[in-house]
Amino acid sequence: MPRGRKKTLTPALEDYLAVIQEILQKQPAARVSTIARKMGVSLPSVTNAMKRLAELEYVEYEKYGYITLTEKGKRRARSLRGSQNRLRNFFFYVMGIPSPTAEKLARHFSHFLDTKTRERFKRFYDIMVNFDESKVQELKEFLEESRRLVNVREIPEEARIMEEDEEEEAQP
């Protein structure tokens, strides 16, 4: 790997994994041209990304050849897709955010969730997406646990929504 380049999976590389997984659901292998078309990027950009993903052992790739996900790549792509689906559904069904915006938010947010955060969000999502009166106690316990995790007993005044914030949003 060239100097200065981190040996980590970046958000951009995760986007490539997600697209490859999407392609592989419809056909046995992906090609650089198909990935480029789906992502709206140049062929050299895809080639560089495939080299990096191969070095990180997420894909099997040879120049001018087919691209497949390794087991490691499949696991990461499934995890990423699950997080994106959960986030998209949360923004859409729980928050009432229009679908295109919910999709964009989910795609961006999913890159920054570590395992612990993903697990906490899963729990919160499960409470909220199926919310009814029977979930009130579970939500209360979740919020209390959350505050304990960050060592906060009470939400400080500056963290509460202020009226002037709401007024700014209401103005055209």
Q: 22-41 pLDDT, tens per residue? A: 999 999 999 999 999 999 99
Q: What pLDDT was estimated at residue 132? A: 93
Q: What pLDDT was estimated at residue 1? A: 47
Q: 93-139 pLDDT, tens per residue? A: 999 999 999 999 998 898 888 889 989 999 999 999 989 999 999 99
Q: What is the DSSP string of 13-69?
A: HHHHHHHHHHHHTTSS-B-HHHHHHHHT--HHHHHHHHHHHHHTTSEEE-TTS-EEE
**60 in helix, strand or coil?**
strand
**107 in helix, strand or coil?**
helix
Q: 59-94 pLDDT, tens per residue? A: 999 888 899 999 999 999 998 888 999 999 999 999
Q: What pLDDT was estimated at residue 154? A: 84
pTM, 2 dp: 0.73
